[in-house]
Chains A and B, each alone.
Chain A
Amino acid sequence: LAKTTQPISMDSYEGQEVNITCSHNNIATNDYITWYQQFPSQGPRFIIQGYKTKVTNEVASLFIPADRKSSTLSLPRVSLSDTAVYYCLVGAFGGGFKTIFGAGTRLFVKA
């Protein structure tokens, strides 16, 4: 299983773009990269998933370089409500995708 490394915490201000980078040096060919968001007293919520290059949805963008050894979650124009813990997961589908969470990145958005 590919191990992931993320910053423990990050601070930002409202309206700024936030980029959270995740390192996964031993990612396997079949592995996808998935990000979840967790608010206090709630379960994690799926944000975005990708395999290579760039993926964008209504919430965030995910940038994956060609070597796939890292990925960056980009949150455009954050608000106070984006204060949460963000988890980067790496794994393959089928045959037992082991959805293993690390400690995540605690993002604090200030006014």
Chain B
Amino acid sequence: EAGVVQSPRYKIIEKKQPVAFWCNPISGHNTLYWYRQNLGQGPELLIRYENEEAVDDSQLPKDRFSAERLKGVDSTLKIQPAELGDSAVYLCASSLGGNNEKLFFGSGTQLSVL
């Protein structure tokens, strides 16, 4: 069974530029999460989707971050414009949802903003 797929694996951009991350969850997983992980810290939840609906985006900096999950499958996380402090690893995870909250994570996208 294929795991959670994320791309790109690495991204280097200059500040004020836009950037987008893509995630393909495990087939059949209704719940999708985006996390941000700073160096030496645990992952921080940005947004959680139940199918195509964002049910928890309270931690998403909405002035520059946006996300979408069209048709309740793949998801894209965008930052526009990027700031130096956005340098981090962006992780996508999926789960069956409901009463099964065992998360499966992708390998993440490491973003460096110069």
Question: What number of A-B contacts does a CB cutoff of 8 Å give?
Answer: 54
Which B residues touch A36, using CB under 8 A? 103
B42 touches A102 (CB 8 A): yes
**Interface check A81, CB cutoff 8 A:** no
Q: Give the dominant DSSP class at A's interface.
A: loop
Which B residues lie within 8 Å of A94 (CB)? 98-99
Known contacts A43-B4, A46-B104, A97-B101, A103 near B45 by CB under 8 Å: no
Tell me if A96 and B56 are in contact (CB < 8 A): yes
A49 beta carbon closer than 8 Å to chain B: yes
Residue positions of B touching A, CB distance < 8 A? 4, 33, 35, 40-45, 48, 55-56, 91, 93, 98-108
CB-CB < 8 A to B105: which residues of A? Answer: 42-45
Q: Which residues of B contact A46 (CB under 8 A)?
A: 102-104
Contact A49 B55 (CB under 8 A): no
How many Å lie between the Cα of A59 and that of B18 in the bound state? 42
Question: Residue of A at shortest CB range from B50?
Answer: A96
Which 3 pairs show the lowest CB-CB distances between chains A and B? A43-B105, A101-B42, A97-B101
- Look across to chain A and name the residue whose beta carbon is closest to the beta carbon of B6: A43
The B-contacting residues of A in range 44-90, CB under 8 angstroms, are 44-46, 49, 85, 87
